[in-house]
Amino acid sequence: MQHEKKSILSTSIKIVVLLAVAAVLLLNSMYSINEQEQAVVTTFGSPATVSTPGLHFKVPFLQQVEKVSTVINGFPIGYDIETKEPIEAESLMITSDYNFVNVDFFVEYKVSDPIKYLYSSQNPVMILKTLAQSYIRDTIGLYPVDNVITTGKNEIQAEIKEKLIDRLEKEDLGLQLVNITIQDATPPTAEVLEAFKAVETAKQSKETSINNANKYKSEQEPAAVAKVDEIIKNAEATKQSRINEAEGQVARFNAIYEEYTKNPLITKQRMFYETMEELLPSLKIVIDDGSGGVDKFLPLDSFAANEQ
């Protein structure tokens, strides 16, 4: 009887062990992938990517699965993302005109190839950060401090992004650069910061003056153009009038000359009479009888005016 009890207990233990082993095997033969994940399944050292979301099966103990997130991640350069405190060793840089400036960046990336991300390098994100810091310092050093702090931020960001993308393609880390942005750019001292604020204010005043000048130009230009057109039209009218007058005088002269060539004496006499008709009405006639005297001419006009 006791022997039977031991046999039943031994059988029960075996069943429990088998069930536990079966459960372990079953649990190790399944894995799931979310929408923003990919899995790398390694079989005897040979990796393969699984990107379809849902439940998948694998051979227990023979296949290893490692999941990789494909969401966009990021890291700061120049400041602590939690405390927002500056990290001067990363942010302090020198510009092309030998000025110091603190520049903070934020780098966004995502995994483009899970296999290369896991096995091409030991720490691909740290490599990306090191490359970004190198290209940031190199690019900032090509620009004057005024561009870095005020007007050249977009151009600097675009140049750094292009350099990083090209380098990541060569390194083949399995990472894709999404974006890199300048979070802040300030001079290292308060005095310099105030000076740059004054420069920025002056630039804004300059732009305002230019805009006002362009506005005044656009308002006054139509009136000026109309005035010019009016002057040109008046000048053309005067020109044509004088041309017509000159042509008329030439025609009259030619007509007189033609008559003169035919009858010189008659033409002379007629011209003399016509001229005298124009002159005689305005002439003053003085009659002198030839008698002696001191005063030959009297101011008769004044007497005539008094009599009237």
Q: From CA 87, how far away is CA 102, in angstroms rounded?
A: 9
Q: Which of 33, 17, 14 is nearest to 25 (CA)?
A: 17
> Domains, the chain, ranges and CATH?
2-69 (no CATH), 73-188 (3.30.479.30)
Rounding to the nearest 10 degrees, give the CA dihedral for residues 270, 275, 276, 279: 170
Note the residue count of the chain: 308
State the sign of the Cα–Cα–Cα–Cα dihedral 143, 145, 150, 153. Answer: positive
Residue 230's pLDDT is 87
pLDDT digits (tens, 9 = 90+) for 266-279: 777 777 777 777 77
How many helices (DSSP H) and strands (DSSP E) are in the chain?
A: 9, 9
Residue 302 sits at the vertex; the CA angle it makes with 301 and 305, to the nearest 5 degrees, is: 85
Query: Confidence class of residue 190 from pLDDT cuts 50, 70 and 90?
Result: low
Query: Confidence class of residue 16 from pLDDT cuts 50, 70 and 90?
Result: low
Residue 140's pLDDT is 94
More confident residue, 113 or 192: 113
Q: In the predicted model, what is the mean pLDDT of residues 41-58? A: 81
Tell me if 157 sits within 8 A of 180, measured CB to CB. Answer: yes
pLDDT digits (tens, 9 = 90+) for 245-257: 888 888 888 887 7
pLDDT digits (tens, 9 = 90+) for 50-64: 878 878 777 776 778
pTM > 0.75: no
For residue 32, pLDDT beyond 70: yes
For residue 151, pLDDT beyond 70: yes
Tokens of 50: 């699984």
pLDDT digits (tens, 9 = 90+) for 203-242: 788 888 888 888 888 888 888 888 888 888 888 888 888 8
Q: Which amino acid is at 247?
A: E
pLDDT digits (tens, 9 = 90+) for 86-105: 898 899 998 998 888 999 99
Q: Which amino acid is at 24?
A: V
Q: From CA 140, how far away is CA 143, in angstroms rounded?
A: 6
State the sign of the Cα–Cα–Cα–Cα dihedral 157, 162, 165, 166. Answer: negative
Q: From CA 204, how far away is CA 103, in angstroms rounded?
A: 23
